[in-house]
Structure 1
């Protein structure tokens, strides 16, 4: 999954980045409101973690703008305000959930998983396609009863394809989803991961098709 973290406290941001990256997520970090707006307008995110008190504005303004623009990316607010009225106000503005500072990172991770499950309408994270079962949480793929451990970006790439069978993803789109803004990477890296996944998917009843000039798509064999 790719997250956008909007947080001006660099120590807290670094701690969140470290924990989420260990979970295999790709994260862009915006330390202020103007960067957050720029990231949200150009990036494609599965989840936004939003601080309220920012050096150049109020995170609630970002939330209002995001929802007014029909942005449907789920938002979890990180707030130091513990009053019930404050939390109700955030939910009414369009927040999907909130975490009160200071918080345990394990709780934040759990809330992220819960919001993503609710948004997808799924009670579980296991994805079944053909004769393959992908478990993004456990980090492995099962093909014809055989478990295959996946590297982090192989896992995230396959998760994208499994969640949108029949949709063509361009190389640039996949690069944007698999890497953060600061990563220096070429589109050739995507070709390497696709080649590995094709081998993993042998005997699965599935294939990753190349559509010249367009990108890749998950199809039935």
Structure 2
């Protein structure tokens, strides 16, 4: 097994040695990198917030976080609903493992979720505050709207939307070194893979430009060799 040293942006757990996670041989280093950020964040959100069995789990967005979240939700056994803008995203959603696709551009996503019996968890991976706000009414009683993607714009939610149904809206960070290792092992076992573009170190500027303009599909990875 190889080892990967993960320096956390938000929290440091213990000593540097405590931040080591074993990478299974089945995973390439370039694949493992995104899993230790987008991967651990999405799978931890899905497995630690009360969803069980065939519960409906909805994923907003099919980008860097979302394309992994849909795969994980499917492999964890949830009835997986992908939400994104435009009919052209439906094929990608199905390829990733979504059982149902909802086009948020042409339908009321909250109403569509209500028809499905509502979602136990809505994981809002797209940093779009307007789209997130529109999903609050699709959260069932005692359900959760989880936000792992940062946006500077405020989210609109009324107290009545929360109080009458016991809903919660909360942020979600990544996890510990043990969570990182769990993520890597689960990914290797189930065949989940990040969609990446690789660049050499001298192409770092190009990689950054594709990332910052949203053109990368879906993670830009620098290879040192």
| Higher strand residue share | 1
Q: Which TM-score applies when normalising by structure 1?
A: 0.31
Q: Decide which structure has the larger Cα Rg and report it.
A: 1
Q: Using CA pairs below 8 Å that are at least 6 residues apart, which structure has the higher relative contact order?
A: 2
